[in-house]
Structure 1
Amino acid sequence: MAAISWLDVLEQELNIDIDWMDPDFLVEMKDTIKFHDLTSNQNFVDVQMGHPSNVDLLRETAREVQAEYAAATSTPEHPLWLAIYTRMAVRMCKKVVDLVSGRVLLQTSPSEAYSTAATLAHAHLYDAEFARHGIPRDRFCIKIPCTGPALNAAKILQEEGIQTLGTALFGVPQAMACSQARTLSISPYFNDVRAHDDRSIWPAVADPAVEHPNAARLVQILDLYRRLYAATGERQPLVKNASFVSQEEALAAGEMGCQSATLFHTLIRDLKAHPYTAAERPGGAVAANACVPKPAADTPFYKDRAPPSARLAPLLSVDPLNAADPSKVAAGNDYDTVTKVDYLADNGKLLDAAIDADPVAKDRLAAALTLFIACEKRSQDKVDKALASL
């Protein structure tokens, strides 16, 4: 009998999603696991757009959209390159949607993260392209950066029946704003995006569930949603944890009680190859015994959820990322404070103010948007070259 792997155990505790768009990898893994959702961002879209298998598809898409723009009787709403990019991204999703059981996710333009109108317009363009390519709304989700203006767009999209995920999330106020926008999910980044290339800023701890400096904020977000559901009975966003560097961090997401974790393909291979024993798990048998199986798919996720385990409970009252006083939770992270603030009012000004008041959230959000804007620009260059080749 094959040994049980860390990947097998993690799938018992949460839904494993794939943070990678390569159809060859999904086919490679089909006898091991069928991933739930497939997530992406401007980086992964750009990587896949440049894959040799997509060269002809990009030229075909550029030719097709260019002809549509030339035949238009009025000025198109979107720049030509963005319309080509969006259709191309959806076509790449079309290649993989049947290889996952849930949704494919694409992210709105990061360069418009502080514009409600532009974020809404790009999401509507995605929606139209998914419909054009036969992918219904229950099979896709639009990722929205967690700024005040963009989450106001998310609220409108949710009211229209277009599911959204709040991404680039680094603090409790952003999580509360996503609850107010009624997003389907959120993706708190466990690590600063820069840690993937610069390991000198990565906290390489042995037991991430209790030792990683971001663990406390994640536990506080999960407890915020648990308490909000208990108090109101209203659906709360599902936590799709993201931006892992190590296998141990992925297992921490299972112990904390995230609904899902979206994992890079190299990390999935590592988890698959790692035989599991409870004693070897970070935190040992105590951590293993605290983990619970994920609820049935038809059960409201936060229904009957227990408070954090004795091992994790101390994280509710600390914030290691708070340089001023790590032993305390900042006022903006406190449940009784955060639930009284309307973060979406006045186009999200109070959310943006809360982010500005949190040096870590402000810095990491800016870094994530900077990264994705650079990737978006590389994709625009690829589109321009495709147009020039016609």
Structure 2
Amino acid sequence: MMNKLDQLRAMTDVVADTGDIGAIERLQPQDATTNPSLLLKAAQMPRFENLIATVKAGKYSESVSCDQFSVAVGAEIINLIPGRISTEVDARLSFDTQATVLKARELMALYDKRGIGSERILIKIAATWEGIRAAEILEREGIQCNLTLVFGFAQAQACADAGVFLISPFVGRILDWYLANTDLKVTQPSEDPGVQSVIRIYDHYKNHGYDTVVMGASFRNVGEVEALAGCDRLTISPDLMEAMSENHDTLARALMPTTSTLNAPPPLTEEGFRWQTNEDAMVTDKLSDGIRRFAADQVSLEHILLRDH
């Protein structure tokens, strides 16, 4: 009997949610994704000491130093996977469409200088209204995007309307919010509001014929992962991947693609997007919190890269 990780790979593209090169070598995911928090952890690993020194020697500005480091880490990861690496735009640009577009182009140019084609890269952008508009522009230019920090249905709908290549709806952070702010008790994965959110988005996309890829993210336990087996992609931390690789029980498929039978609804307006987001306290709290956390880790990474200048 195959282990659960291999069973999952047979129905879902497994993506490593890490900047740990050793874990990627060991677990052999299809794709990989990074963010400022994961890059901050990577910057403190002995493996990247020489890379940190090289970036420091370049005496770049703060933001350029981070771009150089994130692309260099991404380039190392690309050598280990058959698919794509997701590289994130500075979270402090989350409410500036044009600045996000420019930063994405700069990141792609850095990859191009390393001989890495656009077909190997996804640009990660926070799923704010401004971020989604930036992704719409970039997608038309052939730069495919991963819209992250997706907590609500309005975000998912607006991303599909914009023709975004992929979204990362979060699971664990949604559960975190409900456990902290309500009396919810979760005794099985089907009761997990994060799992329920991804299933709703997945079913909506498949039923209405959207091409946007659904990649569940931010998992707290193996049960959440298993409850979404069959999703287009799942980005999973190394510890959960290893736990699944050690389990040889049968993994049942939970999500099944359906043939599109429904007409797509009218595109969501900016007013509708902002109102629906405002009406959901969880989405409002977790989106803003996620942006703040990524921005803070970006600043911490900049301090490491500029130290001793």
Q: What is the TM-score of this pair, normalised by structure 1?
A: 0.73
Measure the CA separation in 1 of the matches of 2:253 and 2:134: 41
RMSD: 2.6
Displacement of 1:200 after TM fit? 6.4
Alignment of 1:138-287 (within 5 A): 138-192=119-173, 195=176, 205-208=186-189, 210-229=190-209, 235-254=210-229, 257-277=230-250
- In 2, Cα distance between the equivalents of 1:353 and 1:55? 46
CA displacement, residues 106-141 of structure 1 (integer Å, 9 cap, x when unaligned):
111111111112211211111111111111000010
Aligned partners of 1:222 and 1:24: how far apart in 2? 32
**2:71 pairs with 1:116:** no
Q: Which residue of 2 aligns with 1:55?
A: 49
Q: What residue in structure 1 maps to residue 68 of structure 2?
A: 87
Deviates more, 1:242-251 or 1:367-376: 367-376
Counterpart Cα distance in 1 of 2:176 and 2:13: 24
Aligned to 2:284: 362
Contact 1:49 1:55 in 2 (8 A): yes
Structure 1 gap segments, 5+ residues each: 67-79, 230-234, 279-287, 293-301, 308-334
Match of 1:339 in 2: 265
What is residue 10 of structure 1 aligned with on the other side?
Answer: 8
> How has the CA–CA distance of structure 1 residues 370 and 23 changed in structure 2, closer, same or farther, with 3 Å as cutoff?
same
Take 1:263 and 1:382, find their aligned partners in 2: how far apart are those partners?
A: 27
Checking the alignment, whether the CA contact within 8 Å between 1:148 and 1:349 is kept in structure 2 is no
Return 5+ residue gaps in structure 2 as ranges: none
Partner SS state of residue 186, structure 1: strand
Find 1:38's aligned residue among 3, 18, 32.
Answer: 32
Map Cα deviations across residues 66-99 of structure 1 (whole Å, 9 max, x no partner).
Answer: 4xxxxxxxxxxxxx11111101110111111021
**Structure 1 equivalent of residue 26 of structure 2:** 28
Q: How does 1:317-328 map to 2 (within 5 A)?
A: none
Task: In structure 1, give the amino acid aligned to 2:6.
Answer: D
**1:37 touches 1:100 (CA, 8 Å); kept in 2?**
yes
TM-score (norm 2): 0.91
Aligned length: 308
What is the percentage of aligned positions where both structures have the same residue? 23
**Cα distance in 1 between the residues matched to 2:94 and 2:58:** 28
Q: Distance in 1 between matches of 2:19 and 2:141?
A: 27
1:192 alignment partner, SS class = helix
CA–CA distance in structure 1, aligned partners of residues 165 and 108 of structure 2: 16
Answer with 1 or 2: which has the greater Rg: 1
